[in-house]
Structures are given as structure tokens and as C-alpha cells.
């Protein structure tokens, strides 16, 4: 590790990624652009994400028009956004797993199954939240 250019003598990390050198407004603009690229990639390549976006396009405006408090609307919209967030994370895990382990491997399967379980829980959360807000 002493000869590794990523470390100094006190073991603190030295910035080695050229993309990490951006600061201020340029860093924010780059991060925003990368985020939009990620959303576009997920929409283009992930069927489940497209289906969940359709769900969000229907449910989020519906939440805004329902006669519930602002806090309740926020919770309802948040439950739908949570599905999209979890699906994005699951898709990222799956992409990495496919990249590093294209064959069948028990740990690859476990990672994908756990990601899928997280999506399932976030999907089950939506009707639970909506039912509690509307009828609870």
C-alpha cells in the first residue's frame, strides 16, 4: 500500500478519478446531467421501470386531486416515488452483477433476489399507504 499512488503515507485517499475534480456549479451541472442519463437509461432498458413510471403518472396526479391534507398528499406521492427509487437501485445492482458475474453464481442470484424483494416491498407499501390515508 505504501507504493500505491492512491494512498499517501498517512493512508488518506488521494483524488485519482479525473471526474471527481470538478467543484462548484460545474459539479452540480455534471451530476444533474448524469442523473438525467441514468433516468433515460432506466426508461430505455428496464421494462419494470417503464411500468412503474406509468403507475406514477397515474397515481401522483390522483393524489394531488384527492381531498386529503397536504401531508397526506406528500405521503402518497412519496410512496410512489419510493417505488421508482428502489427500482433504479435494483436495476443498478442488476447491471453491476451482470457485468461482473455473467454466469450463474449463488451470490449473483442472492443480490438480484434481494433487490427484487426490495422492489416488491416498495410496491406493497403503495396500497398500504394509500389505504391508510384514504380509509384509516
Q: Give 33-58 pLDDT, tens digit per residue.
A: 999 999 999 999 999 999 999 999 99
Residue 87 among the catalytic residues: yes
- The catalytic position among 15, 37, 87, 94 is 87
> Do 60 and 30 share a structural domain?
no
> Do 41 and 24 share a structural domain?
yes
- Structurally, the chain folds into a number of domains equal to 2
> Do 64 and 127 share a structural domain?
yes
Residue range of the domain that includes 64: 47-135
Residues 6+ apart with CB under 8 A from 76: 59, 63, 66, 68, 129, 130, 133
* 107-120 tens-digit pLDDT: 999 999 999 999 99
Q: Is 62:68 a contact under the CB 8 Å cutoff?
A: no
> Do 117 and 59 share a structural domain?
yes
Query: pTM here?
Result: 0.83
**Which CATH number characterizes residue 122's domain?**
1.10.287.3610
* 60-81 tens-digit pLDDT: 999 999 999 999 999 999 999 9
Q: How far apart are CA 63 and CA 59, in angstroms?
A: 6
> Do 11 and 24 share a structural domain?
yes
> Do 126 and 81 share a structural domain?
yes
3-state secondary structure of 128: helix
Last residue in a domain, options 45, 61, 77: 45
> Do 41 and 23 share a structural domain?
yes
> Do 90 and 72 share a structural domain?
yes
Amino acid at each position: 500500500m505504501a507504493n500505491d499512488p492512491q494512498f499517501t503515507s498517512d493512508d488518506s485517499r488521494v483524488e485519482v478519478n479525473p471526474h471527481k475534480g470538478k467543484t462548484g456549479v460545474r459539479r452540480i451541472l455534471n451530476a444533474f446531467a448524469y442523473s438525467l442519463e441514468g433516468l433515460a437509461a432506466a426508461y430505455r432498458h428496464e421494462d419494470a421501470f417503464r411500468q412503474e413510471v406509468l403507475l406514477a403518472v397515474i397515481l401522483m396526479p390522483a393524489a394531488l386531486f384527492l381531498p386529503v391534507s397536504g401531508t397526506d398528499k406528500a405521503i402518497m406521492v412519496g410512496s410512489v416515488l419510493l417505488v421508482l427509487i428502489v427500482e433504479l437501485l435494483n436495476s443498478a445492482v442488476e447491471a453491476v452483477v451482470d457485468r461482473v458475474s455473467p454466469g450463474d453464481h449463488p451470490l449473483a442470484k442472492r443480490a438480484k433476489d434481494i433487490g427484487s424483494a426490495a422492489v416488491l416491498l416498495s410496491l406493497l407499501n403503495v396500497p398500504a399507504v394509500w389505504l391508510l390515508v384514504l380509509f384509516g
